[in-house]
Amino acid sequence: MYQNVIKSPHLCLPMQSLSTNYLDELNPVQRQAASCIEGPAMVIAGPGSGKTRVLTYRIAHMIHEGIPPGQIMALTFTNKAAREMKDRIEVLVGSKAQRVWAGTFHSIFARILRVEAHKIGYPNDFTIYDTDDTKSVISEIVTQLNLDKKLYAPTVIRARISSAKSNLITPKAYAANEELMAYDRMNRRPMIFQIYEKYVARCQRAGAMDFDDLLLQMFRLLYQNPDQVREKYQQQFRYLLVDEFQDTNTLQYEIIKLLVMYHGSTHNICVVGDDAQSIYSFRGATIENILQFENDFPDLQTFKLEQNYRSTSYIVNAANEVINHNKRQIQKKIWTQKSEGNKIKINKSMTETEEGKRVADMIIEQKNRFNLANRDIAILYRTNGQSRIFEEQLRRYNIPYRIYGGFSFYSRKEIKDLMAYMRLTINDKDDEALKRIINYPKRAIGDTTIKQLAKLADDNNMSMWEVLTQIDFNSRSRKNIGDFVELMRAFKAKAAKANAYEIATYIYRNSGIEKLLKEDQTIEGKERVENVISLLDGIQEFVQDDEVQSGEEASTDRSLSAYIQTISLMTDADDNKDENPDHVSLMSIHAAKGLEFRSIFVVGLEENIFPSYLSMTESQQIDEERRLFYVAITRAEEHLCLSYANSRYQYGQVRYNDPSRFIEEISDDNIDAIISITKKPTFAEPKILGNFKTPGLQSPKLNIDPSQFVASDPKEIKVGMEILHLKFGQGKVVAVDERLVATIVFDALSENKEKRIMLQFAKLQILS
């Protein structure tokens, strides 16, 4: 199956008949894929193999051979990709390229529906609902049905309706599907099918389609009108091309088949993609579309683009080793003619903070040794919540960076909301924080009341908090405002006697934010909860850190006020993104797909993080996590570092995770020595931020002469032994657990004498 040969050579134009030499710019397989334009074809394009180039040249070749541009439809997943495709084609064939129907599934189908929508009961000038419109309609229906608005949150219901539409499940079919209904009953939402039914009726009555409808109604249009409409567009679009085919969902593929099946014979279709880069199942994409494509098109010609033009051989070899662990795949082996380059580095750190410091150290090292610019470097992680520690470390080194595929950690709404509560807790004159949270979560204090409050504050030269506590409001608002004032007073009282982590956790649980965020069970909702947990973990680390700096000396202040000050110093600086495009890129691996960098750091490579704990129950989900890792490592051109920490804060507790199984799937032949020591770089001094020394980078004051220190074998350290530590001095081992984490009491420490230290990395000298 899927041999790298042309099954029907007579369908291809003879190479010698070409009157132009532009195809000579392609390698042999690329040239075959671009020139065989009749019948069904599939191009399996490995990473860095010139996929876009083949797609562009194929369309240019069609136009050059006399096919009218208006008969070519090219479906993409981004408008940017479509624009770039047209621009490249125009370089080859001129302005005719602009007449090709190239665009996203949604934009192309909306264009057709503007002409044909009346045939399925919609006006041709239908409205397109965005996400907010959809949620507003759903909210009104929930109210109309007298349902619990917390259980039937619009975001949750919208996600269920979207999933149903993507799988061609109508409201009637939804109600008849026992599996779907049982799932809803289990989650105490048995009325979703009724909401779905009413939502569809409301949209049709309003002459509106949401984004999912642009696909679903296109399918209806073609399916219900085989003679008038379907045949019309089958004849108009004689050539159909689909980019990133592995990312299509069930509905998209069904539309594709309706467009290319003509009187029982196959039309001319070319799909381009890579099953090894199928990573969007959470959006409804199904890898089955590309794996089973040959079943629908038995005369398929398959071309495998296996030469990688991006990465060095060590990276390419590692990618092959990893993906070969997936059993269900189209077999291929990517290769490269680029030099061997640098072996893959493994960064093994004791804690997540050490991981962040070491990655920042290595970035400085690479910039100095290999003359890399910041823009040549990217840090990739499994979830956006992992960016925090790397943002902090890059700021400490004054390395400019930018967050892609999401907001900067401290700019995310859920983080700003919780931080606003904390800010108002320690400073009740912070009007901006008050305005942000006085009605979040909703407590029936409307915009009119907030505007009145702000005006009274201005008129009387008072803070808004003073107005709240000194001026009586009308009876409708009095109770709600009073409840908010009492809530904030409780937070203030708690903050007076609690450390930063205790009060932050207390605010999260008692403000209503925790309950509100956890009600949203969508992928985005769960990620928002993970982001808040990551913030709380950072605060817990702040509380337990022995080296928190304040001014010139280490501080023992672990209050909420001290934490807010620390964070403010790190986040107040202007980004100047437009003025300084040279920045390190931070992004999730999903956001990195299609990009490439000279140097890549893949971080947080631990079991239960990457692969995610959500994937542990099913082999197919592990396979997708492995494909995600494959995408991550193949973004690298020259330098690749895989990084993990033995311990990190998760949900307020120190958790110990094993290294990711994906690291173990790479042979030693492709791996450099493991890096496991964090040290201050000698090749570039970090700058000073304001009046504060960069925390955590100064050498500690040693209790003994390091030249006389000899570390003992960690396996020999037992309970009861007297030991010596370079930083903490002499101590006694009082416990050793099954993970070889020792509890040691150090004599010289004035407080927090008891330390938990991993023996594997501790460097302890046995005294007796």
Q: State the catalytic residues.
A: 51-52, 243-244, 277, 635
- Output the 3-class SS for 27-46: CHHHHHHHHCCCCCEEEEEC
CA distance 754 to 20: 78
Radius of gyration of the chain (CA): 30
- Distance between the two ends of the chain, CA-based, in angstroms? 68
* Spatial CA neighbour of 539 closest among 509, 573, 513, 562: 562
Helix (H, G, I), strand (E, B) or coil at 506: helix
Handedness of CA 576, 577, 578, 580 (dihedral sign): positive
Residue 378's CB is within 10 A of a number of other CB atoms, namely 23
For residue 585, which amino acid is it? S
As to burial, measured by CB atoms within 10 angstroms (0-12 exposed, 13-18 middle, 19+ buried), residue 261 is middle
**What letters, b where the CB count within 10 A reaches 16 and e where it falls short, cover 638-669?**
bbbbbbbbbbbbbeeebbebebbbbbeebeee
Cβ distance 37 to 18 under 8 Å?
no
The residues, any chain, with a CB within 8 Å of residue 592's CB and separated by 6 or more, are 378, 380, 404, 405, 631, 632, 635
Q: Write the CA distances from 35 to 17, 26, 99, 263, 302, integer angstroms.
A: 11, 11, 20, 26, 13
Handedness of CA 454, 460, 463, 466 (dihedral sign): negative
CA distance 523 to 517: 12
HSE-up of residue 255 (Cα within 13 Å, Cβ side): 27
Helix (H, G, I), strand (E, B) or coil at 768: coil
Q: Which two tokens stand for residue 234?
A: 């089958």
CA distance 129 to 211: 7
H or E element: which one contains 101?
strand 101-104
The residues, any chain, with a CB within 8 Å of residue 146's CB and separated by 6 or more, are none
H or E element: which one contains 731?
strand 729-736
Q: Write the CA distances from 9 to 23, 35, 240, 299, integer angstroms.
A: 17, 11, 20, 12
Instruction: Tokens 């195809």: give the residue.
Output: 23
* Spatial CA neighbour of 406 closest among 662, 636, 589: 589
> What angle separates helix 154-166 from helix 131-144, to the nearest 10 degrees?
110
For residue 195, which amino acid is it? I
* DSSP H helical ranges for 324-381: 352-369
